[in-house]
Structures are given as C-alpha cells and as structure tokens.
Structure 1
C-alpha cells in the first residue's frame, strides 16, 4: 500500500523538521514549503492526501491558501489542518469558515498532531465502495467522493461531505447539534456545537449556489434536517 502524501506548509524550519520527522516515521511521504505561492503549485504536483498549513507564512497567508484550495474543484475535498499560534475562538472560527477541517494551536505535541491527522483521514475515507445516495435533485457518489445537484458538480470540503452524507442517509429526520457532533465528528472533544453551525452554513452555501432552493431546514431549538418541503 502506498504511503499517504502530506503537504506541509510551514516557514519555521526547526518546527518543519520536527513535524516532518514524526510524519515520516508514521509512514507519510512529506513534501514541505514555507511559501504560500509555492504551496499552491505543489498541491497540483504532489496531489496530497492531507495539507498541514501554518496560518502565518511567507507570501500568501495560510488562510488565503486555504480559501483558494477550497475554491478549486481539484482540491475542494482535500483535508486541511491549520497550524497556528492564534488561539482565540474568533480565529478558530475564521479558520473553519475559510475551509479548514481541523485547527491545532502551537505549541502542540507532534505525536498528537499525527494522531489528529490520522483521525481526519479516517473520517474522510468512504466506508462503502460504490455507494450511491440521492435525495431530491442531490446525488452523492460515496466512493468517488463526488456530489451533484441538478447534474452540476458541487465542490464540498471533507467535513461538509460527511455532514451531507449523514443527512442523505436520513432524509427528513431532524438532528440536534449534539447528535450531529456524535455522527459526523465522533464526539471530538475539540469540536463544539457552534462548529456544527459553521459547517451547516458552508454546506448550505455550496448546495444553494446559483439560486437553488434551500434543502436544509433549520428547526428552532431542535436542530437541522434535509427536507425539500421545509
């Protein structure tokens, strides 16, 4: 089985050396850069399975690199974990809203970082090859990790993909934020109910582009459901 490919975007050389050492020991092929412009080039060359992205880097900022990767159809589904010294809640929410799937504040344990990346990759990997899900005009190919609405491809980040998959498996059913945390994030202690709102909003924006109707119903004091009659 081929090694997983990791793109590390970090301009602190000593930290990059430390992170590279731990991921290579865990069986990853690591490509690294400290420059945002170069990262956007390397992502097409390397086709990484996951991107570790520092917020404060040379050239284009990490947050802008994240935004651009999410806008590209070829990289919209690549898991992105942000590394940063910014620990404020507002910064964490901004990172998530921009497209990051996880967020690690410096200083951090390299072993924990490897475990967090492995957890993200496990959540992203489809469980059943060839599985097809559909509701209204939304179609999901789980194995190919593709979503279409009215025949048009919908680029989704890994977390939004998992969230939509859960809704597609239970159309019409209302899920509380806590139930969604359990189903989609597996009770990750670093994820809270507000994060669910962020990802639901991102999923809505992707599904409802070009003026399409909103398929996600907000049920006050209860949660969310996939409901075309909502």
Structure 2
C-alpha cells in the first residue's frame, strides 16, 4: 500500500470515459536536435540554426545551392516518411524539376495501443487563425466494427474551416490509427471540403467509417450519435 501511494497517475475527463490510469515510472521525451556537429558546416559555408538544424529553402537547397539537406538534419518533425518524401523531391530537383517541400502534407503517428495519428491543423492551431472553426468528434464506442472487435477505446476528430468548408485537420486515437490516417492525408492534400469528404463511401463494417461519421458530426448531421452530445460548432 505504501508503494501504491508513490504511483503516478491521471484520470480522463468524463467525455473520454472518466477512467484512471496508474503507473510506476515514466519517460518524458522533450525533443531532439540535429546531429550536425561533425559536418564542418561553417567551413563549407552552410548555415545552421540555433539547434544545429541545416537551413534549407522550399526546394531543400542549403545556402550552397548544389547541396541539399533532408530529414532529421533540417527543421521539421523528424519523421522517416517525411525524409523519404523529401528525398524523392530532391531527386526530381536534380533532374531539373521545380519542387516545393512546403507543400507536403505529412501525417504523424504514435505507435502506442491504441495508436495516435494526426495530420493537418489541430483545433487550437485553427482557432489561432480564425474563429470560423468547425469541429466534429465521433467516439469509437458508436462504431459497430469497433464493438465487434472489442476495440471501442478512442475517437476520431475532424477540424474544418467554416468559411471555405475545407477539411483542415484529422486526429485519430484508435487501434490501427496509423493505417487510417492516409486517406485523411490525401483528402487534405487534395483540398476537399468536409461535405465532399463525407460523400466518399467507406466499406461497412469498418473502423474507417468513423472518419466519415466525424465529418457528418462536423456538418451537424450526425448519423449514429446524438446531435448535441458530439457536435461542437463555434461561430
């Protein structure tokens, strides 16, 4: 009992189940820095940032135009799939194409259980831009496939721009979230509106249906959750 008093813990808000978790230890990751100390960047004339990251332009060129940099050594999330996409752009640039790395829409995933996956803007980032924000949340406990798989912990959240109707962010907390985020990435990259997105047919029964369901909630047309319970539209 004395040992239990030293446990760390948290309790989720009621809308996320209200249950608590306790654990003995935790590791806090506060970030990473680029490992560029051995590159002799100053001697080459390549500009570095205050954390050692290599400065690049939209074409991924350093301050020496024929030297490019990608991945963990430049400013960004430091994700393997982002580095791969940047490498492909550099190959195109070397062949004479005009490329723009700032146009990449890059999802991020955390491989916990359930998983976390996110792409685009968060609700907080959207509200920093405008008050015209549309938000829709769909709980997995309302998903038939999640119930039959006994994987009801989690939700899907969609963030949109009320002025244009466009989908601006998708956030998933669910089993296999990393497998679900790609379609949302494509939708944002193609500039789809939420109305266009929800009209894409998802197979039934699947967890992927939750993406469309969250969109219907954002449009104030929920199909399988009460209108007030999961709808949040702020003018």
When normalised by structure 2's length, the TM-score is 0.28
Higher Rg of the two aligned structures: 2
When normalised by structure 1's length, the TM-score is 0.29
When you count helix as a share of all residues, which structure comes out higher? Answer: 1
